[in-house]
Structure 1
Amino acid sequence: MTPSAPESSSKPTNAQILAASAGWVAVVLNVIPGLGAGYLYQRRWKPYWITSVLATTWFLAGAVLGQNAAPDFEIRNQWVGLLGLIALAGVTAAEAGLAVKRVRDAN
């Protein structure tokens, strides 16, 4: 008996998965639902968890700082919270798109 050859198909690397992903999908998923959903699409867990921790911290900081706030400042605090989450979505979207570009340029 001759030994059989190992299968030629192996598990793809993280760089191969990232290079095969559509950059625009990751960007849109990080902007529209926000909170790092594009990282889930790219199967990039570390940036996803960092984004989740930052968003949760932002929510908690807003809740703590907004306690017993005067009604005049409540609307302003809500705008600050919303703008912070929009900024987080913008930064993560840009990073997700640039990560795809960086991996594709390296190949």
Structure 2
Amino acid sequence: MRALTWLWRAFLFFVLFAFALKNQHVVDVRGFFGYSWQAPMVFVMLGVFGAGCAIGVVAMVPSWWRHRRDARKRLHIIAEQSPAADDPQAAPDTAGAVPSQLPHPPDMPAPRKPGR
């Protein structure tokens, strides 16, 4: 399976490399107020791709923060509900232990287990 993965990566690299070699001509990028910029097509496309990736990451940051905040909140709720918090002699070896899996809210699907 690893060989197929590396073959796919090599194929994709060579296709993109050939595409870059075919598009070396200079293009004129025109902006507002008479601004223009000349650069090879490959660099223009690479810049647009990079800007799109950066905008996508920045757009996802609030969602990531919200999920982290919710996970911390669930962790604190579970720590408060553990039997060790009610009766310290009930389970002395599990005092302060974090469960292996956090519960998920009912409006969200259960997380999938990662593949190998």
Q: Same fold (TM over 0.5)?
A: no
Q: TM-score, normalised by structure 2?
A: 0.30
Q: TM-score, normalised by structure 1?
A: 0.32
Return the structure number with greater helix share.
1
Return the structure number with greater strand share.
2
Higher relative contact order, structure no. (Cα contacts within 8 Å, ≥ 6 residues apart): 1
